[in-house]
A and B are shown apart, each in its own frame.
Chain A
Amino acid sequence: NAGVTQTPKFRVLKTGQSMTLLCAQDMNHEYMYWYRQDPGMGLRLIHYSVGEGTTAKGEVPDGYNVSRLKKQNFLLGLESAAPSQTSVYFCASSLAGGETGELFFGEGSRLTVL
């Protein structure tokens, strides 16, 4: 099993450019999450989804959009990248959410905005 796969793994953008990060999971999980990780800050939740066709805002949603058109995929979009969005982005999935589930993480996508 591949588990959770993120693409691309590395990307460099110029300020104002747009891009989409793709997350795919093959575990038939209902819940999917996008986090960003910055030094000394731990992981902060950007957006999450509790099922196909649903999305919700997390702790730091500004500047990002998401879509969950298919159960196995969760896309994170940056419409107009800013240097403050330089970070490592992690996608995660869970079978049952916070009440009983554990998170399965991808390997991360390192984004640099110049």
Chain B
Amino acid sequence: SQQGEEDPQALSIQEGENATMNCSYKTSINNLQWYRQNSGRGLVHLILIRSNEREKHSGRLRVTLDTSKKSSSLLITASRAADTASYFCATANYGQNFVFGPGTRLSVLP
């Protein structure tokens, strides 16, 4: 069964706007990660946030984690056409595995 569930399933915005994607999960985690997948390509790691962290930044990315609500959000500021991709959250429990949600498809229109 899937651990993470992203919301919304699809998002369309104009270039320059901010994009926010949410991820909910069900069980205790060690960390939560966000990945990007361009069409026809493999996934690329964006950012990792640990269970004892509440917010993390990397360039135009901002990730928050609320362990009490079992949820995370990914904010992409000042979006660009090149940000068009699918975004996945992945949760890691205290074992070896990563569990992915179904993803959010982001379209950034020029």
Residues of A within 8 A of B (CB): 4, 31, 33, 35, 40-45, 48, 50, 56, 58-59, 90, 92, 94, 97-100, 102-108
A35, A42, A90, A108: the one contacting B2 at CB < 8 Å is A42
Residue of A nearest to B96 (CB): A97
Point out the residue from A50, A98, A99, A106 that lies within 8 Å of B42, measured CB to CB.
A106
Q: Mark contacts of B22-35 with chain A using CB atoms, 8 A cut-off: 1 yes-contact digit, 0 otherwise.
A: 00000000110101
Tell me the B residues contacting A by CB distance below 8 Å.
1-2, 4, 30-31, 33, 35, 40-45, 48, 88, 90, 92-103
Kindly name the residue among A4, A41, A42, A103 whose own CB sees the greatest number of chain B CB atoms within 10 A: A42
> Hey, which chain A residues are within 8 Å of B42, CB to CB?
4, 90, 105-108
CB <8 Å contact, B88 and A42: yes
Is there an interface contact between A41 and B102, defined as CB atoms closer than 8 Å? yes
